Amino acid sequence: MAALVCRGLCAAYGGREALHGVDFELPAGAFLAVVGPNGSGKSTLIKALLGLIKPSAGTVKLEEGVGRSGIGYMPQQSESRGDFPATVYETVISGRLGRLGLRPFYGRQDRREAEKNLRLMGLWELRTRAFRELSGGQRQRTLLARALCAADGMLVLDEPAAGLDAETQERMYSLLRDVNKKEGATVVMVTHDLVRGAAAATHVLELDGGQKYFGEAGLWPGRAQYGSGEK
């Protein structure tokens, strides 16, 4: 079963094309690394996937049953407010906001999910700490736990390991692999890290304004060029 299907996807800003002819089918449970140089259309693809921009041609479809509200999204660290006054727990459970509907308060299920994802990310001991007091790696784990609270089958991550030291990056990729395998979530991750990032993935989509490669990570020509890394 496909989690995500793009057919002839094109996107433009003010008539200028940013993405052209993207066409692939990602199996459910896959871990996709979206790679390519600056300006190659990676963020544009993510925006189209999240429904934030309308394709100028073609389609993006999610697996039946996974609506856009079922995507857990983790933005780039630079987009997340570092001075956010909330605690780690409050930040994580805010991932459930989209599911409250008409309910004014978090319910038992929301609290259970927040607790589960805090533990999964090794944040339980830090739950009462202020988000702004955290280290870069702890913040990234908090934002990942929040995205997990929002996710119903799919996680979309924009540079989840950017700005972290090599060891913390490796820890983040290993957490993502665990979430992908153990929780069965389909992961779509934009990364500039062609070695560790691409090695964590099962599939690679390489963009250069158009689609340069889509397929299994092990068969990606860039793998030989940039190093195979550890799987």
Ligand X SMILES: Nc1ncnc2c1ncn2[C@@H]1O[C@H](COP(=O)(O)OP(=O)(O)OP(=O)(O)O)[C@@H](O)[C@H]1O
For residues 195 and 229, the answer to whether their CB atoms sit within 8 Å is yes
Closer residue to ligand X (CB): 111 or 192: 192
Separation of alpha carbons 181 and 120, rounded Å? 13
Minimum Å gap between C-beta 87 and ligand X is 30
The alpha helices in the chain, defined as continuous H runs, are 42-50, 88-93, 108-120, 136-150, 166-182, 196-200, 221-226
Q: Which is nearer to ligand X, 18 or 62 (CB)?
A: 18
Residue 138: CB minimum distance to ligand X, A: 24
State the amino acid at position 4 in one-letter form.
L
**Shortest Å, Cβ 15 to ligand X:** 10
Nearer residue to ligand X within complex by CB, 41 or 160: 41
Smallest distance, Å, CB 211 to ligand X? 13
Nearer to ligand X, 35 or 199 (CB): 35
Cβ neighbourhood burial of 229 (10 Å; 0-12, 13-18, 19+) = middle
Please state the closest distance from residue 229 (CB atom) to ligand X, in A: 20
How many whole angstroms separate alpha carbon 87 and alpha carbon 142?
Answer: 10
Shortest spacing between CB 52 and ligand X, in angstroms:
10
Q: Do residues 139 and 85 make contact, with C-beta atoms less than 8 angstroms apart?
A: no
Rounded CA separation 33/66 (Å): 20
Pick the closer one to ligand X by CB: 37 or 107: 37
* CA 74/CA 222 separation, integer angstroms: 25
Question: CB-based contacts of 121: which residues, under 8 Å, 6+ apart?
Answer: 141, 142, 144, 145, 148, 175
- Which residue's CB is nearer to ligand X, number 43 or number 80? 43
Binding site for ligand X (CB under 6 A): 13, 18, 36, 38-44
